[in-house]
Amino acid sequence: MDDVAIVILNYNGKTFLEQFLPSVLANAEGFPVYVADNNSTDDSLAFLQKRFSSVRLIHLPINLGYAGGYNAALKQIEARFYLLLNSDVEVSPNWLTPLLALMKSNSRIAACQPKLRDFKNPRLFEYAGAAGGYIDYLGYPFCRGRLFDTGEDDRHQYDDAREIFWATGACMLVRSDVFHRLDGFDPRFFAHMEEIDWCWRAKNAGYQIWYCPDSVVFHVGGGTLHKSNPHKTFLNYRNSLAMLYKNLPEGHVFLNLMIRLVLDGLSGLRFLASGHWRDTLAILKAHFTFYSWLPYLRKQRNALADLRKNRITHREIYPHSIIWQYFVKGKKTFGELPKVENNPNL
């Protein structure tokens, strides 16, 4: 069994593989590199076989998305740790060693992430992970170094290793036995929020998620689905509601979802006022899809009851509304957010 398997999920990403795979192979530190192909319709597989013969290929017969694709691929790989890596990430020298050292220092750490900076503007923290992920009590995700569309310059203000709420799926080192014990990602999510949902389940099970600043990678972002695409809006809103329903502690589900219903409606009106009516329709579709999922989600919630027991709150869930702080109070950076008393992680 390998100590680490570096696993890149690919869908029509030949251009990114050609650009970024050499940096991964040059800095793989002797560990095997896998590319799991989600039945690409470009010539990714033929290209890999011709140009990168050392890469181990896994061909999935249909496109299962990020969640289902990784679930299927990782069942075929034996390793103590999986390094899940997007195809549009450029790694730097000595990126893997600090992540692995952190994981091995504490068996309670289920997953960790590096510092993510923007490939196009390397001074900036990158949208999908930055310096570690958090959510507020209504399920809105944010990061140290990035609140909504505001990204900060990396001035070494977030160079402390610390426990976080979620690690980015763009580059995440995960303990394989914990990944499988928690049944991997929710395949219904397809893409977006699946890593946050998995991290929440891991924390409910008593594990920790960490950020490692000594490892730095550079992420393009939106390589498969650009953030302006209404389908991305649909996936994010649908999956966020599903995640809340599955993981919120008893007594919080109804009220939190009712507040989300109002806030999502306001978000839809904001999109409409700015001329992005397709995003408004995507939010409506997300809610109706969520309602149709309730029988499935109710079974999942019941199955996760033992994990939620005695795990009512987590320190890394922000008890204020990040929407209110950002859009009403004008708090544009993580450091400007009102602190939570006696909580070093917020």
pLDDT, tens only, 231-268: 999 999 999 999 999 998 888 899 999 999 999 999 99
215 and 237 assigned to the same domain: no
* The pLDDT of residue 250: 82
Q: How far is CA 215 from the centre of its chain?
A: 17
Query: Within this chain, do residues 236 and 203 fall inside the same structural domain, yes or no?
Result: no
Q: Would you state the pLDDT for residue 311?
A: 54
pLDDT tens string 185-207: 999 999 999 999 999 999 999 99
Full residue range of the structural domain in which residue 62 is found: 2-219
- Do residues 197 and 284 both lie within one domain? no
Instruction: Give yes or no: residues 275 and 215 share one domain.
Output: no
pTM for the model: 0.94
Per-residue pLDDT, 97: 97
> Whose CA is closest to 245, among 190, 203, 308?
308
DSSP string of 121-165, one letter each residue: STTBBPTTTTT-EEEETTS-EEETTEETTEEPB-SSTT-S-EEES
Q: Which residues of the chain have pLDDT under 70?
A: 223-227, 308-313, 340-346
Determine the pLDDT at residue 251. Answer: 83
Tell me, yes or no, whether 163 and 81 share the same domain: yes
Distance separating alpha carbons of residues 12 and 224, to the nearest angstrom: 8
User: pLDDT value at position 315?
Assistant: 84
Number of domains comprising the chain: 2
Dihedral pair phi/psi, residue 254, rounded to 5°: -60, -50
The contacts of residue 229 (CB under 8 Å, 6+ apart) are none
From the list 247, 79, 248, the residue with the least C-alpha distance to 178 is 79
Are residue 254 and residue 210 in the same domain, yes or no?
no
Instruction: List the one residue out of 68, 15, 16, 18 whose CA is nearest residue 38.
Output: 68
Domain boundary among 199, 219, 239: 219
Report the alpha-carbon distance of residue 185 to residue 68 in Å, rounded: 7
Dist. CA 124–CA 156, nearest whole Å = 11
| Direct distance between the N- and C-terminal alpha carbons of the chain, in angstroms, rounded to an integer | 38
Q: Do 37 and 162 sit in the same domain of this protein?
A: yes
123 & 18 share domain: yes
- Tell whether 175 and 65 lie within a shared domain: yes
pLDDT at 13: 93
For residue 90, the cross-strand partners are 218
Cβ contact 128:219 at 8 Å? yes
Please give the pLDDT value at position 249: 85
Looking at residue 212, its pLDDT comes to: 98
pLDDT of residue 304: 86
